[in-house]
Structure 1
């Protein structure tokens, strides 16, 4: 699959995560957005906020996009992940709904 530019909501989400901006990150999700982290689901902005503070932005994550693939409303981004835990390569799939993220799945 070819590498493409990042969709705007995904680029904004990565920028917010790299800037420790939890509220900016949350604002990019739909009201009923979902994060799936290795089979665990966090629903709605309150659920995502708790996950984000404890396991994502709260761990000073850094995300460097390496490639992105698009299939319809889904964009899968290969990243180099840094921070205080779980570093290395990873893939995150984002399902977009207009200019918002409906679903973010940590998949590899």
Structure 2
């Protein structure tokens, strides 16, 4: 399944997943707020430069692929369950997104 098969996905999350799958770092980064952050199991990367460095080492830089398997809402977060592939971590993982307006404030890798 692809992100487009889940109409409940907020647009910035949909665009971020599509950018990751296309290995388009700039498009991925453009989905975050000015102080947007990634929390990768407690390691926090805040701001465009920090998120870009993390992504180069551990996400888009290792040719990540995200196959969306489920989407749920929990409080103010959108939880996207995926099957992760690529040259880094492979396996099931959940991403909790906090969206502010039309951008992502936080992408937290939770499981």
Work out whether the TM-score is over 0.5: yes
The verdict on how the C-alpha distance between 1:19 and 1:4 changes in structure 2, with shifts beyond 3 A counting, is closer
Shift of 1:7: 1.3
CA deviations 1:28-77 (Å, max 9, x no partner) are: 00000110001100010010000011110000000011111123431001
SS in 1 for 2:61: helix
Equivalent residues, number:
106
**CA–CA distance in structure 2, aligned partners of residues 25 and 77 of structure 1:** 16
* TM-score, scaled relative to structure 1: 0.93
* TM-score, scaled relative to structure 2: 0.91
Question: Hey, which bits of structure 1, 4+ residues long, moved more than 4 A?
Answer: none
Select which of 30, 34, 38 maps to 1:31: 34
What corresponds to 2:107 in structure 1? Answer: 104
**CA–CA distance in structure 1, aligned partners of residues 76 and 60 of structure 2:** 25
What corresponds to 1:76 in structure 2? Answer: 79
Select which of 5, 8, 11 maps to 2:8: 5
What corresponds to 2:3 in structure 1? Answer: none
Shift of 1:94: 0.3
SS in 2 for 1:42: strand
Deviates more, 1:97-106 or 1:72-81: 72-81
Where in structure 2 are there 5+ consecutive unaligned residues?
Answer: 1-5
Q: CA RMSD in A?
A: 1.3
**CA–CA distance in structure 2, aligned partners of residues 70 and 100 of structure 1:** 17
